[in-house]
Chain A
Amino acid sequence: MSIPHGKITAIIGPNGCGKSTVLKAVGRLLKPRGGMVYLNGNDIQNLSTREIAQKMAILPQSPQSPPGLTVGELVTYGRFPHQHGFGKLKPDDKKIIMWALEVTKLTEFENTAVDNLSGGQRQRVWIAMALAQQTELILLDEPTTYLDLAYQLEVLELLHGLNREQMCTIVMVLHDLNLAARFADHMIAIRDGDVICHGPPEQVMTENVLRTTFRIDAKIITEPHTGRPACISYDLIKENN
């Protein structure tokens, strides 16, 4: 399995199937018991943690920021892998932080405490931190969990824009199939740690794949607005059929 460069990849699968585990193994937060992860052809086990952090950023599910930390300070922490010793922020670092705040539309909140923001804004702060890390690859574990519908779209639109305009490669675990099919260029369906199917949404969002992955009977149509497949209704599989 490989993750296409410069695209948005969505990992889908039922609870406990190993989506997050795959993401963590790719990000080297976990050491795979078998198998290898290559980044641009290099085995990531041979890279230092800092080198990896300069190449990819991983956002875990609902990260917590310490109370009182401001948006600007949290985004500044994204420069950690590029900083050494006691040195202050260089002009370049400052530029990157300002840019990250700008593209996530957080400039006006720079000096607001993260805990005073709404859920959607907070998720944008973490994405801004990942952007400040200046990596070509961003991994996100369920970036829309616990968010209202509008905030979910806000976050995904942001990621979509970052992918198209800044050429970030994005890999995310998503629970919502329709959002995954709408925003991803590439999808990976996982069940019990095995990849059931991967490819463009049209190949993955099929009744067959969803039946094996989620054990559901799904009705798939092509959504007229986006031209992407969407699941309009689903049922448990009847045992006797």
Chain B
Amino acid sequence: MTGSRHSGNLTEQQEKNEEYKRKRELRNLTIIVICAVVLAAVVFVCANIGYIKFSIPDIFRIFTGGGTNRENLVVFEFRMPRIIVSILAGAALALSGCILQGVVRNDLADPGLLGINAGAGLLVILYVMFFGTQSFLSVFTLPFLALIGAGVATAAVYALAFKRGEGVAPMRLILTGVAIQAGIAALTTVLVVKLDDDQFDFVARWQAGSIWGSSWDYVIALLPWLLILVPYVMSKFRVLDVLNLGDSVAGSLGASVEKERRGLLAAAAGLAASAVAIGGNISFVGLIAPHLGRRLVGPRHLVLLPTCALLGAVLVSVADTIARVIVEPSEIPTGIVVAIVGAPYFLYLLMRNKH
């Protein structure tokens, strides 16, 4: 076998390389820590922003358990669940986008590609059509239905893109995803026309991406998904790295390409679907967070995944707070804020890459 004939001592160049790598690792770690600190600050600030204002010492007092009943109610029952839901949904969508872009090797992939939004949206509309917006069941049934819709759409995309002997080629997956998305969107439009004003308003809000799940119940509904899927995805960081090199190279390196891809796609679908079910159509985060992340820490998934999750969490929680207060006392859907903030930045990235 090709024996390693390396001597124990490093050359000057190798020392320099090692030093450089150490520095970069430190830099990446710093970026992750900064993201985490920013996230913590966002929680703090967002808890403070809203119709009822607190001073900074007040907020400290409330967080350390010294608040009055009324203050506790506002912070812990109204604001915190919503902040946490938006953090979880943002992290889940960003991770989902990061996985997808790696698996299909296309930077323009986002969770919508798997038909997640379209499938969830269709079932939400069907539900609203048959049961109306006032049904008391909707708090729990709606996310569940959205989840089923997303799951069915993803399964359909995968099944249609699958070809015996070859598995799912990334390009075919993308094209199938686009087709399914367009098909469901058409069907959705047909149904929307038949809705009455109340129903239409509700559906339009959902589709624009509005975090309406703002009680601890939703946090509890979202958390288990993340607790199961995030460790699974993180444990696959090396597989994601080699899948990024293309099917042949990944196969040559000993990854079971199709099996791993199926697992990762399912995880991406689960993450995005659970987030979309509660947060509505905010999947734009899944497109831009991975771009931002790669720019900050490069393409290695060991650091990219946590960075993306944190960025997604920051993006959605900030966007949701803006959405909550910008037209007080009414609010605009979070998805729209994400798009308003995200789209120009995204265009800027694309323009920069041209040079």
Contact = CB atoms under 8 A, between A and B. Distances in A.
Interface of A: 24, 27-29, 31, 49-54, 56-60, 63-70, 72-74, 77-78, 80-81, 83, 85-86, 92, 95-96, 98-99, 102, 107-108, 110-111, 131, 133-134, 136, 162, 166-168
A72 B17 contact: yes
Interface string B248-275: 1101111110000000000000000000
Contacts of B294: 67-68
Contacts of A64: 245-246
B165 interface: yes
Given A66-B244, A72-B21, A73-B300, A59 B252 contact: yes
Residues of B contacting A: mostly = loop
B2 A136 contact: yes
Contacts of A80: 238, 241-242, 253-255
6 contacts: A49-B254, A57-B252, A58-B248, A65-B245, A85-B235, A167-B1
Interface in B216-249: 235, 238, 241-242, 244-249
A113 to B, nearest CB: 9
Pick the 5 closest A-B CB pairs, nearest first. Answer: A53-B254, A81-B254, A166-B2, A60-B248, A58-B252
Contacts of B252: 27, 29, 53, 56-60
B13 A107 contact: yes
A102 B6 contact: yes
B298 A68 contact: yes
Contact of B245 (A67, A68, A77): A77
Of B20, B24, B245, chain A has the most CB atoms within 10 Å of the CB of B245
Interface in B62-116: 105
B55 interface: no
Contact of B6 (A31, A65, A95): A95
Contacts of B2: 131, 134, 136, 162, 166-168
Contacts of B14: 98, 107
B179 to A, nearest CB: 25
B329 interface: no
A6 to B, nearest CB: 11
Given A64-B246, A168-B2, 9 more contacts: A53-B252, A57-B253, A59-B252, A64-B245, A70-B298, A77-B245, A98-B6, A110-B21, A111-B21
A95 B247 CA distance: 27
Contacts of B244: 66
A81 B239 CA distance: 10
B135 interface: no
B134 interface: no
B238 A29 contact: no
Contact of A134 (B1, B24, B165): B1
B249 A60 contact: yes
Nearest to B2: A166
Contacts of B330: none
B3 interface: yes
B235 to A, nearest CB: 7
Contacts of B21: 72, 110-111
Interface of B: 1-6, 10-11, 13-14, 17, 20-21, 24, 105, 165, 235, 238, 241-242, 244-249, 251-256, 294, 298-300
Given A77-B242, A107-B13, A99 B253 contact: no
A83 B238 CA distance: 9
Given A85-B235, A166-B2, A69 B251 contact: no
A66 B20 CA distance: 21
A81 B253 CA distance: 6
Contacts of A28: 251
A72 B349 CA distance: 26
A73 B21 CA distance: 10
A58 B254 CA distance: 10
Contacts of A92: 4
Given A67-B299, A95-B6, A107 B11 contact: yes
Nearest to B17: A110
B264 to A, nearest CB: 16
A83 B13 CA distance: 26
Contacts of B300: 69, 73
Contacts of A67: 294, 299
A59 B235 contact: no
Nearest to A83: B238
Contacts of A24: 248
A66 B246 CA distance: 9
A56 to B, nearest CB: 8
Contacts of B165: 31
A124 B244 CA distance: 19
A69 B245 CA distance: 10
A96 B4 contact: yes
Contacts of A98: 6, 10, 14
A53 B248 CA distance: 12
A155 B248 CA distance: 21
A166 B3 contact: yes
B17 A69 contact: no
Of A66, A69, A133, chain B has the most CB atoms within 10 Å of the CB of A66
